[in-house]
Amino acid sequence: MNGQTTYLGHGTAAERWERARLFFDAKEYATAARVLDALAREVPEQLAPRLLLARAYYHSAQLVRAEGELRAILERWPVEDYAQLMLGRTLERLGRAGEARPYLRMAAAMAGDLPGGDARG
């Protein structure tokens, strides 16, 4: 392990979560993803690190990894509307617009953004 890898993986889960968020907020998405990858594997039952990992992958153009993480999230939490939206956007960036449409429609429906009128009833 090199020095940076040791630093990134050092500390409690809470310290690593905070470190990952700082890297993400600084737009150091690839570095945030390295911290979050280990953290998400350590606590797979927690949604927040996995969603931030997917976002870090997306923003660092690791789209295949983003897709895989988002599909895993939706398998476990199928009603996670933000993951539906992100998967749709990721598939669009991968040039798979047809495959993206159902996820984007589902995200819109879950958010109450239904076409053809006011969703508030």
pLDDT over 70, % of the chain: 86
User: What is the value of pTM for the model shown?
Assistant: 0.85
Residue 65, token pair as written in the block: 């990894």
Lowest mean pLDDT among 34-38, 53-57, 59-63, 117-121: 117-121
Residue 121, judged by CB atoms within 10 A of its CB (0-12, 13-18, 19+), counts as exposed
Containing H/E element for 30?
A: helix 29-42
Q: Tell me the average pLDDT across 2-22.
A: 79
CA R_g for the chain: 16
Instruction: Please indicate whether residue 121 or residue 20 has the higher confidence score (pLDDT).
Output: 20
To which residue do tokens 């539906």 refer? 84
Residue 24, token pair as written in the block: 């993400």
Lowest mean pLDDT among 4-13, 30-39, 88-97: 4-13
Please give the pLDDT value at position 10.
77
